[in-house]
């Protein structure tokens, strides 16, 4: 089944592209983009079933961010358990000396490696 959505971008109908021009004679308008939605799409629902481009998507998100986040509020941080490993590696710093002779000085550094 093939269906259509109007792009939800609040400024979609103001973007000056050939694909938005409708009407005849002196009654031309820029119209919101109509998006063809195929429900048999193997990739399932796409955000671009509702927005014709990323500008329209972000315009909508910017305008409705509070309402959108109220749909599924995040009231506390989430955590993912991990294992970490301290790893030593060879690094270096620069010794600017003072007499104009810059030296590269090696040293043993440590970094934390995440083991999933």
User: Residue 95 half-sphere exposure, CB side, CA atoms within 13 Å?
Assistant: 9
The four Cα atoms 38, 40, 42, 45 give a dihedral, to 10 degrees, of 50
Is 52 or 79 the residue whose CB approaches Zn ion more closely?
52
**In sequence order, which residues have a C-beta less than 8 Å from that of residue 108 and are 6 or more positions away?**
88, 89, 90, 91
- Quote the least distance from Cβ 21 to Zn ion, whole Å: 14
Per CB under 5 A, does 7 bind Zn ion?
yes
d(CA 70, CA 16): 33
Element spanning 113, H or E: strand 103-115
Is 57 or 68 the residue whose CB approaches Zn ion more closely?
57
Is 11 or 87 the residue whose CB approaches Zn ion more closely?
11
Is 33 or 49 the residue whose CB approaches Zn ion more closely?
33
Number of residues that bind Zn ion (CB under 5 A): 6
User: What does the per-residue mask of binding to Zn ion show for 12-51, with x meaning CB under 5 A?
Assistant: x--------------------x------------------
Q: Which residues bind Zn ion (CB under 5 A)?
A: 7, 9, 12, 33, 52, 56
């Amino acid at each position: 089944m093939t269906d259509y959505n109007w792009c939800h971008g609040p400024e979609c109908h103001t973007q000056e592209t050939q694909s938005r021009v409708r009407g005849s004679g002196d009654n031309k308008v820029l119209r919101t983009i109509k998006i063809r939605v195929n429900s048999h799409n193997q990739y399932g629902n796409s955000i671009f079933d509702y927005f014709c481009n990323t500008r329209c998507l972000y315009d909508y998100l910017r305008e409705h961010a509070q309402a959108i986040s109220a749909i599924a509020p995040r009231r506390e941080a989430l955590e993912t358990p991990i294992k970490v490993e301290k790893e030593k590696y060879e690094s270096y710093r620069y010794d600017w000396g003072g007499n104009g002779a810059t030296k590269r000085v090696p040293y043993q550094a440590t970094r934390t490696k995440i083991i999933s």
